[in-house]
Structure 1
Amino acid sequence: MVTVRPFPIRDGAGNALTAFRGSSEAELRRLGGRDVVPAALVVVEYAGAVLMVFDAWRAAWELPGGGRERDETTHRTAVRELREETGIHGVRLDAVAVAEFDLVAPDRRELLAVYRARLRAAPRLLVNDEVLDFLWWPPSDPVGEHMNPLDAEIARRVARMPTA
């Protein structure tokens, strides 16, 4: 059984995950541009586990994802970031949620689009300059050392969501 924690959930730097709600692609489009939803995360599920990437810059395990580029939709961001960070491409990504954060450096409120990919076979993952390693993390396990607790909570909540 995957247990979810009450909000807010904070990381060691003081950033907080303050809300999480189901969402559709249509709702993400209605939310608007890059200033409103500046990034996307992808929860990749395979065999009861979620793919976490070890980010070289932050030295932490986190979900694949990143910032939107000019004139890019959140879906396109999720597709691009997943390919760049893992080598995974050509898979179906479904919009499943919006996560709300209060961040500290700089101080701001931010919404992130959350997508899900459910894989039937283990992918070939590609290490690169940004991502140094990969971990298939069962969301029922405790949050590991150097794991971003905010991303882990998002992964847990997505894992509990029904399939569309």
Structure 2
Amino acid sequence: MTPLPIRDRAGNALTGFRSVSEAELRRLGGRDVVPAALVVVEHAGSVLMVFDAWRADWELPGGGREPGESARRTAIRELREETGIHGVGLEAVAVAEFDLVAPERHELLAVYRARLRAAPRLLLNDEVLDFLWWPPSDPVREDMSPLDAEIARRVARMPAA
């Protein structure tokens, strides 16, 4: 496990990572406290990474919360929108803490896990240009978010609920 903080090439930093339950995540509060959610999708020892069209790198599926939406609903919606995966069980596993640079801010992101028994049918879209099943034991690629890769590695090491 890489010691924190770690930074990406833009200067954003993953500064913390801690396990949480769904109840703890709900207690953290609303959109201002936890404005986004990420999903670590695991299958056959690998984690699903998506190639983001805007940032041009491999990252975990996820995104920002919409008004009135819980972190869980955000994770479900973003996973469906970015991959086509729906109807799978999501487990709240962690909160990731970031210091971001554009604009400067400190954020907590909800992290969920989906463990799949079969490879899903994945759907490309305007936001996601490709998919990669990445083994977390492999080196982090040059075109991969080191922050998301570290989150994926930490979640992959966590026991099942």
TM-score (norm 2): 0.99
1:160 to 141, 147, 157: 157
Structure 1 portions without partners, runs of 5+: none
Alignment correspondent of 1:12: 9
Q: Percent identity?
A: 84
2:122 counterpart of 1:125: yes
Q: Which residue number corresponds to residue 51 of structure 1?
A: 48
Q: Does 1:87 align with 2:84?
A: yes
**TM-aligned CA deviation for residue 57 of structure 1:** 0.3
Residue 103 (str. 1) matches residue 100 (str. 2) = yes
Deviations 1:48-72 (A, max 9, x none): 0000000000000000000000000
The code of the aligned residue for 2:31 comes to R
Partner residue in 2 for 1:42:
39
Q: How many residues align?
A: 161
Structure 1 residue 145: Cα displacement: 2.3
**Structure 2 unaligned regions, length at least 5:** none
Aligned to 2:25: 28
Give the alignment's Cα RMSD to 1 decimal. 0.4
Q: TM-score, structure 1 length as denominator?
A: 0.98
2: CA distance, partners of 1:104 / 1:128 = 27
- The DSSP-based 3-state class of the residue aligned with 1:43 is strand
Whole-Å Cα distance in 2 between the matches of residues 42 and 116 of structure 1? 6
2: distance between equivalents of 1:64 and 1:34?
A: 18
Question: Where do 4+ consecutive residues of structure 1 move more than 2 Å?
Answer: none
> Aligned AA for 1:132?
L
| Per-residue Cα deviation, 1:2-36 (whole angstroms, up to 9, x for no partner) | xx100101000110000000011101110000000
